Structure 1
Amino acid sequence: MTGSPVKGRKRAAWTLVALAPICAEMTFGALPLSMIWVLPLLVPMYGAGVLLIREAVRRAGGGWPSLLVLALVYELAEDGIGLQALTSPNLYQAAEWGPRVLGLNTAYWESQIGYHAVFSVMIPIMLTDLIHPAHRDRPYLRRGGLIGVGAVAVLGVAMLRLFIPPTMDPGYQAPLPALAAFALACVVLSVIALKVLPGRTPPPPAGTRAPKPVVVGLMGAFATVVFLGLLIPIIPPPAGGRGWWALGPMALAAALAVVAGLLLHRWSASGWTDAHRIWLAGGALVGHTLFGSAVMATTTFDRVGLIVLAVVTALLLALLGRRVANRLVPLG
């Protein structure tokens, strides 16, 4: 094996490691720009975690269904075991977003499943494939590297548990049955993603052609903003939280996610190109950054900074679009 392919795979791996926390945290405002120095501390969880997902799916021969299922594993590991936010009655005021069922913050959980699936996992992987197309269908790491990345990802979950809850939710300890259930669910879902789903990706229906890339981008932006707006309180919830009436917005958000996923699956039947991927990522990223500027930011500095980031994101993706404008790659 020559040195060039090895270096190319390493560059691709590091690109994904960098993009995951940037897409998920920095460009949304979940991590205030005034605290940007914290971003490297998120690399073990986000960067290594998403790289581990990507490597496992590629080695198993899986496609987007496997990535989505492992994204749920990622969310359970981060929010359920690391942050303990799925069960905490206090952290992020998540208990007030909607009904608590069996001690779980259901509206918060739904929002994070969709958010992490798209912005922590799918978009960083898709962008990395676009930046490094020669390696999009093959693993980046050898077995030793895969083991090392897995260890770093586990360390990332431990770091979240050790540093975030004690400072932001002091005194809270998630119930052991809940932690055991989350761990068991992670194992079962991983088996499904890597042993059951590979080779069973349903083909898109014939006779459907993708619309223009700009339409895909607008759909991505619309779906992102509406999904987040339905689940994340734009104004502080009333005393006692939003309660059971939040089931309506939760159902609408779930329906929106399903419809968007089905549309993308149908559009991939014919005429789906890298330009569509870039517009899809751009619409979703710019949409979630502008939403973060309006809802997540608490200072003028952060609000203006996120708007600037949205513009920079659009410009960078436009440059990437010029680079790959004429390359057609079937949706995998």
Structure 2
Amino acid sequence: MNTSDPPKGRRRAALLLAVITPVVAELTLGNPPLSQIWLLLLFIPIYGAGTLLIRELVRRRRGGWPSILLLGLAYGIIEEGLVLQALSSPTMYGAAGWAPRFLGLNSAYTELNLPYHAVFSVALPILLADLTVPSLRDRPYLKRAGLVVTAVIFVLGGLLLRLTVATSIDPGYQAPAAMLAGCVAAVALLAVVALRVLPPVASHSRAGAVPGPWMVGVLGVLAGFGYLALLFPFGGAVQPAFTHGAWVAAPMLAAAMLAALTGWLVRRWTTNGGWTDRHSLCLAGGALAGHTAFGVVANAATLADKLELSALGLLTVILLTLLGRRTGTGSIMKPTGRRKGPRTFRAGMM
């Protein structure tokens, strides 16, 4: 880390990331509605500290986006499996009825929420923070003491959600010890792979065609909206994509294929020499627009909620457009050499 960077600048960047994380993951999806925006105070400790902690660990390791996404999956397991215990609860949100349970897990709910956390609770906030403060994109924001404080806040944030949200929505449920142990083991495995097995990023790129930023944005819209629409039962449906019985396997498979195809395309494009920060911004903006559009369709309960969420989506587009005007032609997602240093859809916080 370059110690010549003003500490206040790094602290501001850390605070920015901590604040925008629950906004991206929860508010722009309609959780909570704007009329209850004060509930974000419950989300900031675990969301903000969790994503900041992931960014700091990966930057110190000189890791890349695969490491961030794997730790994002680990974050999802911590929140959904250990804190809220919604991955295994037979009653919370009615998720046990979405699809057949597998190894004690609510299968469709798990497929929906773990990738959601990896992308919308972790990767996109980090990407937006790095685009907003490009001078610090390759460096940690915090010193060692700040990292320790962030970890403590993350743990306390998990306890806060456990004592408030989990006990009010699903009182009395306690996940089996084997399930909790499995979640801990999965988190440990993902952390080891992300921080010890995956190599640090290298400075290289290959020749190849990259579509225009707006086409990348369209992919973000389709992937963001499509993945949620395939897996979350809405519009009166009791299973994903209005299926019945064993047909629920079809949208679950389609969602997995959509995620795999999107990941393959983004990976292919970001290793090409033509990928720029504007592509990254359009990808993030498209994904946010798609998931907010889904929130309007499936999550907002009243007309007022739909109008408020639509206005928030429009404001998000405006802010990202302003950010785009100051975004250069470098690349934040290509590897670069770095110095060490009613039922509601709560895909982020269920």
Match of 1:212 in 2: 212
Tell me, what secondary structure is at the counterpart of 1:30? coil
CA–CA distance in structure 2, aligned partners of residues 202 and 249 of structure 1? 38
Q: Deviations over 1:246-303 (max 9, x none)?
A: 1111111111111111111111212111111111111111111111011011112211
CA-CA distance at 1:45 after TM superposition: 0.7
| 1:127-276 superposed matches below 5 A | 127-199=128-200, 206-238=206-238, 242-268=244-270, 269-276=272-279
CA contact (8 A) 1:65 1:201 kept: no
Q: Deviations over 1:13-65 (max 9, x none)?
A: 01100110000000001322221111022111100000000001111111011
Counterpart AA for 1:133: P
Match of 2:18 in 1: 17
Aligned CA distance change for structure 1 residues 276 and 243 (closer, same or farther; 3 Å): same
TM-score (norm 1): 0.94
Tell me, what secondary structure is at the counterpart of 1:324? coil
TM-score (norm 2): 0.90
CA contact (8 A) 1:23 1:120 kept: yes
CA–CA distance in structure 2, aligned partners of residues 274 and 238 of structure 1? 40
CA contact (8 A) 1:82 1:161 kept: yes
Counterpart AA for 2:72: A
Q: Deviations over 1:54-88 (max 9, x none)?
A: 00111111101111110111000000011110001
CA contact (8 A) 2:280 2:333 kept: no
CA contact (8 A) 2:70 2:194 kept: yes
Tell me, what secondary structure is at the counterpart of 1:254? helix
2:284 to 274, 281, 284: 281
Match of 1:91 in 2: 92
Q: Deviations over 1:74-109 (max 9, x none)?
A: 000000011110001111111122111121001111
Tell me, what secondary structure is at the counterpart of 2:29? coil
User: Over aligned residue pairs, what C-alpha RMSD do you find?
Assistant: 1.9
CA-CA distance at 1:207 after TM superposition: 3.4
Q: Deviations over 1:207-263 (max 9, x none)?
A: 322110000000100111111110001233449x95532111111111111111111
Sequence identity percentage = 48
Q: Deviations over 1:153-204 (max 9, x none)?
A: 1111111111112111112111111011101211121111111113378976
CA–CA distance in structure 2, aligned partners of residues 88 and 243 of structure 1? 20
Tell me, what secondary structure is at the counterpart of 1:188? helix
CA–CA distance in structure 2, aligned partners of residues 117 and 146 of structure 1? 21
Match of 2:115 in 1: 114
CA contact (8 A) 2:65 2:333 kept: no
